[in-house]
Structure 1
Amino acid sequence: MKRIFGGIALALLIIVVANFLYNGQETLDESWLNDEDLSNDDIIEQLTDNQYEAYFQRTDLAGEQAVKIGDLIVDNHIYSFDIWDPYKYEELDWLMDPFDDNSWKLYLHSLRMVSFLVNAYEETNDEVYLEKAMSITEDWIVNNPDNDSVSNWAWSDHAVSNRMLNLTNLYEQLQRSSIRDIGFNKLLLQSLYEHGLWQVEEGNYRFPHNHGVMQDRALIQVATLFERFDFADEWFDLGVERLKKQLEASISESGVHLEHSPGYHIHTFELFQEVNEVLSKDGLSLGEEFSDDLMNMKEYLAYVFKPDGSLPLIGDTVQTDLEHIDHLEHPYLDFIRTQGKEGAQPTDVSKVYEDAGVAILRDEWKDAEEFDQSTYVMLQAGYHSNVHKHADDLSLVLYSMGEDIFVGPGKYMYTSNPMRYYMLSSLSHNTVTVDGAGYDLDLEKIDVFIKESELTEEYDRVVAEHSLYEGITFTREIILLKPNVLVILDALESDQHHTYEQRFNLNPDAELLNFDNFGMTAALGDNLKIKIQQLETVDEVHHYKGSDEPIRGYVSYYTNQLTPVDQLEFVQKGKTANFVTIVEMESDQYSSPVESVEFTEGNLYYIKNEERKEIILQ
């Protein structure tokens, strides 16, 4: 079977033709390493004219940044991302955890610093970077054998997959260098083979999960490295087969990634697209349906990006701006990226993805000069997986006139601590909680869905429901009266007495002017005003901002960072609760044409441009 990865494939071909045989056991036959007639120079000489193309390279630092980071690592610093300071060590300790952070430990055992060292070598041709990479790699291999490693993170699926890419990249660059260390090559190849065996084991495979896609990608790469062995075809085919199943299980028919996070939608799309591009260069394909799914995933992103070109903080999403993601190519995305100056305007203004439980509402696609002034609402009403999922069902985010109005909490970090639990809980989202608590995420109790929707030029209306609180049915109906009035109808029913709390997180830049049982007024910027009106009786109202006891009123735009925000909590008590909430946004430039909103006998009435209008609610 024809493969890619230029230098890697040829390196193995030369070695294999010489003496490299597979004996069917869990080790490779390394008798060729003792062949006195086969020197390092004989092997390296055959590689110098071959161009390497690192399709799955983990990092791509270049220029002064690559050298700066490489020098730090040579000087015994661990560096993974800017969110953590470089960590100075005397001796490598694979149990070190200076930041008490699971993600830091993950990237330590991914050997991300090895990939950075390779970047520095590629930039300078200075082999001191490869020598340091070899030293770190050998130390890791010796101290972390499978089933007897010093850290639980050593053989976690994410770390294994990342490490496989980093180590194959290191191996290739070593073959192209003047370093002659056949003993290290032996150690590295044997370790990569063991990594492949680990990935093949069904018990180690994550499905459905974006980590599983990473595992597929890594297995395909290492199968390519060992392409001359009988098992390579089996590994390669297994990776492709699993990949197809991941796509089918983790992407809705409408193209929405079902891990409930726009940020991970992009991440998983990139994984699928990367593998698909590599396969296509080898004359292989995952099929037309796969390509259609990737196209649908990109179209979904055109709707999910807010009018300012950033992602809403839904699920485990961090602040992400489309202008910094130039590899997402689609006419719709070009339209969003350029604020309406280029590309093609999406065919719909608002979209409801019932199969994924997502509704995205807009008043209109405005002209380029006012593109970011549109009103945008995103409602969550789907529960397909616990992966990157928050207890955020029937929560919403709201944006209007160039500003976030109601914001989601973000990810914060993956280490278990009270703040992370808060970010995951309903208490941190723009939704209704019960008795001062959220609900537990339990896939056996999935009962959340979009009941109906109505999208018109005048208004958009969506009704969703869940029964995730024991013995309680929660129905949320949102109506966007275009352009800039949002009506929220929350109905909760139970046979027992409860305290129901309707919560809103304001933009951290908002100035809370006043609040009481009847609503709230806030200001943003020079002249944007936000007004909440409660048309039904509210028993109590509470306010939090950056509170640690209890934890309330925080959002996290970036990993490991917290920003205090005003959180308002409107309370009703009883067996049932009915919140009728009107949210209005206006400024000197955009006064609302909608006024006198009323909720009478189950129907909604309002005046727009001096004309009385009615919406008959089901």
Structure 2
Amino acid sequence: MLAVYGLLAVVMVAAGGIYLSETGAAATPCKWVNHERLARPCAVAEVWNGLRQEAEHAPDITSRNANISVTRNAEAEARQLWEKGFVPLGRNVDPWSFEVPVDWNADPFKDRNWRYQLHAWRMLDPLLGAWEQTADQGFLTDALRIILDWHEYHAVRGQKSEYEWYDMAVGLRAMKLAYLFQRAFEGDVQLDDAGKAKLIHLAWLHAQSLMDKRLLSKGNHGLFQLHGLLALCKVVPSIETCTGAQNFVKTEMQDLLLRQFSSEGVHLENSPEYHLFVYNTVKRFMDSGWYDQFDFIRDLMERVAQNRIWMVHPDKTIVTVGDSEPKPVTIDWPKSSDSCQGAKASCYLLQNFRDSGYAIVRSVWAVPVQKASMLFVMGMFFQTGHKLPDDLSFEWFDEGERILTNAGKYSYSNGPFRDYVTSTAAHNTVEIDGTTRKLTEATRYGSAIKDAKVMGETFLIRGTVPREEGIDHERLVLFRPQRWLAIVDVLQGDAPHQYTQWFHFAQQWRLENAEDDVSLVSSSGRTVLVRHLSGAQLVTSRGQKQPKPQGWVTESYGNMVDRQALGYTAGGRSVRLVTLFGFDASAVDEASVAVSRYAPDPLHAMSKH
């Protein structure tokens, strides 16, 4: 269905998104405004002046509350857009030659995130930032030239782009539209009547999309959709499709946040990075003052804020569970006793988010990072968004460095490394028959954490997960900080399978010995010994590419580095796999005793009967 500018555009919802359809009626700005709020004259100038007068009562749309990233180098980045090309913020890709008219359906890197950022108008961020820093109207003129080209491509020429109505992109565009409307109303940039009409039409189209509940994301993208709608409709409330926007946002925002966060105040998209990202996003939105009447948001965000400290390692890098990267973050630790400078049982904390699906052991906050320990166990599957097949996986940090980690998200581009990080074998969990189960709504299990407690100086965390082929998987994690870690997996099925217990070391650890107790040495000079008690076959891999990748870890978005992977493989209908880690032989012996005490072999017991 093609839409022709100059005809009344009607939004039609189809499986692939929103499409414009012509109706044959003459289209003027009069058709796109609510005449109960705004007088009826249809000339562009009258409609524009009416909108401008209403906008005098609107709150300020700033780069912060419009989610526009302004860097100190915005002016240079704005000029580089035309000289070198478009590079989305935070993405390590080559510049894409950028000029108007734009090929809005381009996909030069085979990366869906890049395509979304193109349609989120991310190239406007440095332009708008440069205008804020220099007051040079040329930067605003360039920004308007780009968005009117987007309108020309889609609404006038009727061409299609796969990401033109992508949920989060629409929300971010709506924020930028609100910002530019305000700049134009205040005379910071000049528009002719044709440009004004197109801007009004863009507002109508975006509000129409954002007010459609069927198109509202149930994940964190929905936050951007709702905030974009609120921003746009505060500036141009008489746009016809903005009718009821305030109440719509209030109702849907509450419902969305209650789906996004557990009652414990933990984000439910399976990734610590997104807990931090969504908190920062909502806080930035709240700072606008537009949500002061939404008491539930403030109360929920207070709990979410308190839980941020559990999502990062003692070195203040994000735990790489799910679609997370090991990014450093700025965060303040709570105050705690300075008496915990050494290792003692009273100097560790256990946080059991049982309803949410995380269990964490870590040193108290006063312990310096060089002596600090942390174990993060993952057992969450409430939503498919940002979920990776890392059921009952974990990360281990001790005495200043990461030891065992997950693969991280790599990127959202298609290719062998994205396939790798979305495979079971890329995580510290058990792979079944060398395959990865597809993650669907039907395979969600909520929280897998069943128990988390401390017994003397030993911490115990237990989780259970229903796996593919009707297999039940129970994992028992025993941990004594600064000494040892024990992983006990029991898998029971109705038919024989091959099970591989995978462990992935941080990049700085190198395999030194693969006989008897396997030993790995860190670049810091420390050693970890690994002892397997179940007679499974050992597989070692580092930087393997064929027949499929193994032994890799995300260093930053789109950047993979090699690292050491160990796999212990055994076959049978039901198996018990036990692997111990310790900083010396006596520590591994202690771990073995703890397994005998706290995790007796249920399969052996069954065989006696």
| Fold similarity call, TM over 0.5 | yes
Aligned equivalents of 2:157 and 2:460: distance in 1? 54
Aligned to 2:561: 563
Aligned to 2:506: 507
Aligned equivalents of 1:28 and 1:425: distance in 2? 59
Give the C-alpha shift of residue 230 in structure 1: 7.5
Which of residues 296, 302, 313 in structure 2 aligns to 1:306? 313
Matches within 5 A, 1:454-533: 454-456=453-455, 458-516=457-515, 518-533=516-531
Secondary structure in 1 matching 2:163: coil
Aligned equivalents of 2:34 and 2:46: distance in 1? 18
Give the C-alpha shift of residue 191 in structure 1: 0.6
Aligned equivalents of 1:39 and 1:270: distance in 2? 36
Instruction: Return the letter of the residue paired with 2:94.
Output: D
Aligned equivalents of 1:261 and 1:148: distance in 2? 39
Aligned equivalents of 2:265 and 2:157: distance in 1? 38
Distance 1:30 1:291, change over 3 A: same
Give the C-alpha shift of residue 459 in structure 1: 1.7
Aligned equivalents of 1:601 and 1:402: distance in 2? 26
CA contact (8 A) 1:114 1:170 kept: no
**Deviations, residues 224-263 of structure 1 (Å, cap 9, x unaligned):** 0123568646111101211100111110111111000111
**Deviations, residues 492-527 of structure 1 (Å, cap 9, x unaligned):** 1123222111101111111110124x4421011242
Aligned to 1:31: 42
Distance 1:171 1:335, change over 3 A: farther
Aligned to 2:85: 77
Matches within 5 A, 1:231-270: 232=242, 234-270=244-280
**Deviations, residues 44-87 of structure 1 (Å, cap 9, x unaligned):** 9x98xx97644523323244x11111112244722322422322
Secondary structure in 2 matching 1:245: helix
Aligned to 2:607: none
Aligned equivalents of 2:190 and 2:494: distance in 1? 75
Which of residues 410, 415, 418 in structure 2 aligns to 1:417? 415
Secondary structure in 1 matching 2:102: coil
Identity %: 21
When structure 1 is superposed on structure 2, of 262-271 and 539-548 the one drifting more is 539-548
Matches within 5 A, 1:566-585: 566-585=564-583
**Deviations, residues 420-464 of structure 1 (Å, cap 9, x unaligned):** 122112110011111112222132133462222213551210110
When structure 1 is superposed on structure 2, of 225-234 and 113-122 the one drifting more is 225-234
CA contact (8 A) 2:61 2:231 kept: no
In the alignment, structure 1 residue 157 sits paired with structure 2 residue 167: yes
Distance 1:454 1:171, change over 3 A: same
Aligned equivalents of 1:564 and 1:575: distance in 2? 33
Secondary structure in 1 matching 2:448: strand
Instruction: Return the letter of the residue paired with 1:79.
Output: V
Aligned equivalents of 2:69 and 2:592: distance in 1? 57
Instruction: Return the letter of the residue paired with 1:238.
Output: F
CA contact (8 A) 1:112 1:166 kept: no
Secondary structure in 2 matching 1:295: helix
CA contact (8 A) 1:434 1:501 kept: yes
Aligned to 2:97: 88
Secondary structure in 1 matching 2:377: strand
CA contact (8 A) 1:543 1:567 kept: yes
When structure 1 is superposed on structure 2, of 462-471 and 70-79 the one drifting more is 70-79
Aligned equivalents of 1:149 and 1:186: distance in 2? 20
When structure 1 is superposed on structure 2, of 434-443 and 197-206 the one drifting more is 434-443
Aligned equivalents of 1:467 and 1:232: distance in 2? 46
In the alignment, structure 1 residue 211 sits paired with structure 2 residue 221: yes
Aligned to 1:128: 138
CA contact (8 A) 1:352 1:360 kept: yes
In the alignment, structure 1 residue 603 sits paired with structure 2 residue 600: no
Matches within 5 A, 1:387-466: 387-447=385-445, 449-456=448-455, 458-466=457-465
Aligned to 1:15: none
In the alignment, structure 1 residue 285 sits paired with structure 2 residue 304: no
CA RMSD of aligned residues (A): 3.4
Which of residues 167, 184, 188 in structure 2 aligns to 1:177? 188
Aligned equivalents of 1:257 and 1:523: distance in 2? 35
Give the C-alpha shift of residue 311 in structure 1: 0.8
Aligned to 1:16: none
Where does structure 1 lack aligned partners over 5 or more consecutive residues? 1-18, 606-618
Instruction: Return the letter of the residue paired with 1:365.
Output: V
Distance 1:425 1:188, change over 3 A: same
CA contact (8 A) 1:306 1:312 kept: yes
Aligned equivalents of 1:374 and 1:496: distance in 2? 43
Aligned equivalents of 1:422 and 1:127: distance in 2? 47
Where does structure 2 lack aligned partners over 5 or more consecutive residues? 1-29, 600-609
Secondary structure in 1 matching 2:576: strand
Aligned equivalents of 1:347 and 1:299: distance in 2? 20
Aligned equivalents of 1:146 and 1:575: distance in 2? 62
Which of residues 48, 70, 74 in structure 2 aligns to 1:66? 74
Aligned equivalents of 1:291 and 1:320: distance in 2? 27
Aligned equivalents of 1:283 and 1:474: distance in 2? 44
CA contact (8 A) 1:212 1:246 kept: yes
Aligned equivalents of 2:563 and 2:542: distance in 1? 8
Distance 1:525 1:122, change over 3 A: same
Give the C-alpha shift of residue 347 in structure 1: 11
CA contact (8 A) 1:365 1:371 kept: no
Aligned equivalents of 2:347 and 2:583: distance in 1? 26
Instruction: Return the letter of the residue paired with 1:78.
Output: F
Aligned to 2:21: none
Distance 1:282 1:421, change over 3 A: closer
CA contact (8 A) 2:552 2:560 kept: yes
What number of residue pairs does the alignment pair up? 558
CA contact (8 A) 1:118 1:173 kept: no
TM-score, normalised with respect to structure 2: 0.83
Instruction: Return the letter of the residue paired with 2:300.
Output: D
Give the C-alpha shift of residue 30 in structure 1: 6.4
TM-score, normalised with respect to structure 1: 0.82
In the alignment, structure 1 residue 296 sits paired with structure 2 residue 294: no
Give the C-alpha shift of residue 365 in structure 1: 1.8
Aligned to 2:14: none
Aligned equivalents of 2:291 and 2:380: distance in 1? 38
Which of residues 199, 204, 209 in structure 2 aligns to 1:198? 209
Aligned to 1:13: none
Aligned equivalents of 1:191 and 1:21: distance in 2? 10
Aligned equivalents of 2:581 and 2:433: distance in 1? 24
Aligned to 1:552: 550
**Deviations, residues 262-302 of structure 1 (Å, cap 9, x unaligned):** 11111211232233332xx3583222x43232122122211
When structure 1 is superposed on structure 2, of 523-532 and 215-224 the one drifting more is 523-532
Aligned equivalents of 2:164 and 2:562: distance in 1? 36
Aligned equivalents of 2:46 and 2:594: distance in 1? 90
Aligned equivalents of 1:94 and 1:173: distance in 2? 25
Give the C-alpha shift of residue 373 in structure 1: 2.3
Which of residues 129, 138, 157 in structure 2 aligns to 1:119? 129
Distance 1:558 1:498, change over 3 A: same
Aligned equivalents of 2:563 and 2:477: distance in 1? 23
CA contact (8 A) 2:348 2:361 kept: no
**Deviations, residues 105-144 of structure 1 (Å, cap 9, x unaligned):** 1111111112321111111122221221122111101112
Secondary structure in 2 matching 1:389: coil
Secondary structure in 2 matching 1:530: strand
